[in-house]
Amino acid sequence: MARKTVTCTINGINREYSVDVRSSLSDMLRGEEGLDSVKHGCDVGECGACTVLIDGRPFNSCIYLAVWAEGKNILTLEGLSDTKGTISDIQQAFIDEGAVQCGFCTPGFIMSSLPIINSDTPYSREEIRKQVSGNLCRCTGYDKIVNAIEKTQIKRIQEKKA
Ligand code: FES
Ligand code: FES
């Protein structure tokens, strides 16, 4: 099987791997890096459980070839904690709002929400729902997830103004 070297940045650290050219980015992140927040859900781009940021934009890593990651900046949920392992405000908000049950979908939802909570412009609840519409949850009900994202968005905008 053909292999290719991929050099990229993962959670702020430069990495280089030799990958099967048919491998997905989710396989590379889980297999080579042990980043278990990147879930294998549907594996066909339908559920969002494998969402990561690539150069700042959310992608389903199960349908993104590992070789396409050459030169890219990849962020997974593990990269949101600080150096002491303290979780980020959006992760805490999911806990506080009861937006986590089995937790399988949670990393993907959080990664999809990052463009919202990093924006200077507030998103309405409908816009939040649209932004995360590629992510599916079987347990929680979407209101609590939207609550957590909205709460974090408001908090961050207030912090920027302070
Ligand atoms: S596992 Fe990638 S979209 Fe479902
Ligand atoms: S919390 Fe279980 S799938 Fe979302």
Q: What is the pTM of this model?
A: 0.96
- Enclosing domain of residue 47: 3-80
Which of 39, 138, 143, 147, when mutated, tests ligand 2's pocket best, judged by the most ligand atoms within 8 Å of its CB?
138
List 33's β-bridge partners, or say none: none
Looking at the fold, whether 110 and 70 belong to one and the same domain comes out as: no
> How confident is the model over 70-111, as pLDDT tens digits?
999 999 999 999 989 899 999 999 999 999 999 999 999 999
Mean pLDDT (the chain, rounded): 96
- Ligand 2 contact via 104 beta carbon (within 6 Å): yes
Question: 20-34: buried (b, 16+ CB within 10 Å) or exposed (e) per residue?
Answer: eeebbbbbbbbebbe
Residues with CB under 6 A from ligand 1: 40-43, 45-50, 60, 62
Give the position of tokens 């999809």. 112
Tokens, residue 35: 């980043």
What CATH number should be reported for the domain holding residue 103?
1.10.150.120
Please say which residue of 80, 111, 129 terminates a domain: 80
Give the domain CATH number at 71: 3.10.20.30
Per the structure, how many domains does the chain have?
A: 2
**Same domain for 59 and 38:** yes
Q: How far apart are CA 157 and CA 135, in angstroms?
A: 24
